[in-house]
């Protein structure tokens, strides 16, 4: 098995397991909209449901569920196509794409299963809250950041050649 596929398999399995286990745990042990303070004025566990995308974008759109499922499926397909074209030396890119893939699949599972996404990580500074998010969202953000870094480094590698 090529290393890039092993990376995809391991990263996806770990992220999906952690994402789904935490969401099921939150759903079974907390009431909706309840909060557990972890670090005063900085971080809470707050059980939320998000019908939209990031920052509840399009949460009132009539066809939001089929729209978001379609967008997720397209994103997964595009990631797979890009992944298939990776060179063997692009291990960091493989990790980045695997994180984005796993996050997209994790939130897709919620949308298909529940019609919305479970969010529970609540970062804030006193009363200034960042929108609640989850493990899948975190994986997507880290993956995108890694991909951006990789693009910068790839550009520098190309200039040296």
pLDDT in tens, 99-139: 999 999 999 999 999 999 999 999 999 999 899 999 999 99
What is the reported pLDDT for 74? 94
What is the reported pLDDT for 66? 82
Half-sphere exposure of 141 (CA within 13 A, CB side): 7
Q: What is the pTM of this model?
A: 0.89
pLDDT in tens, 39-55: 999 999 999 998 866 55
What is the reported pLDDT for 142? 98
Note if 89 is an active site residue: no
Give the whole-angstrom CA distance, residue 113 versus residue 86: 32
What is the reported pLDDT for 139? 97
Sequence-separated (6 or more) residues with CB below 8 Å from residue 39: none
**List 19, 122, 137, 150, catalytic entry:** 137
What is the reported pLDDT for 17? 98
Give the whole-angstrom CA distance, residue 91 versus residue 98: 10
pLDDT in tens, 58-87: 556 567 778 888 989 999 999 999 999 999
**List 110, 119, 122, 150, catalytic entry:** 119
Domain ranges of the chain: 3-160
Sequence-separated (6 or more) residues with CB below 8 Å from residue 106: 15, 16, 19, 20, 134, 135, 136, 139
What is the reported pLDDT for 65? 79
Note if 19 is an active site residue: no
């Amino acid at each position: 098995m090529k290393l890039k596929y092993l990376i995809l398999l391991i990263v996806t399995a770990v992220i999906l397991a952690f994402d789904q286990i935490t969401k099921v745990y939150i759903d079974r042990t907390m009431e909706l909209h309840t909060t557990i303070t972890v670090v005063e004025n900085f971080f809470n566990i707050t059980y939320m449901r998000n019908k939209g995308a990031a920052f509840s974008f399009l949460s009132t759109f009539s066809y939001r569920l089929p729209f978001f499922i379609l967008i997720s499926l397209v994103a997964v397909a595009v990631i797979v196509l890009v992944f298939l074209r990776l060179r063997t030396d692009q291990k960091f890119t493989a990790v980045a794409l695997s994180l984005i893939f796993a996050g997209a699949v994790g939130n897709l599972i919620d949308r298909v299963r529940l019609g919305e996404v479970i969010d529970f990580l609540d970062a804030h500074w006193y009363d200034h809250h960042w929108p609640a998010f989850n493990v899948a969202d975190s994986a997507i953000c880290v993956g995108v950041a890694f991909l951006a870094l990789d693009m910068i480094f790839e550009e520098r590698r190309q200039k040296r050649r």
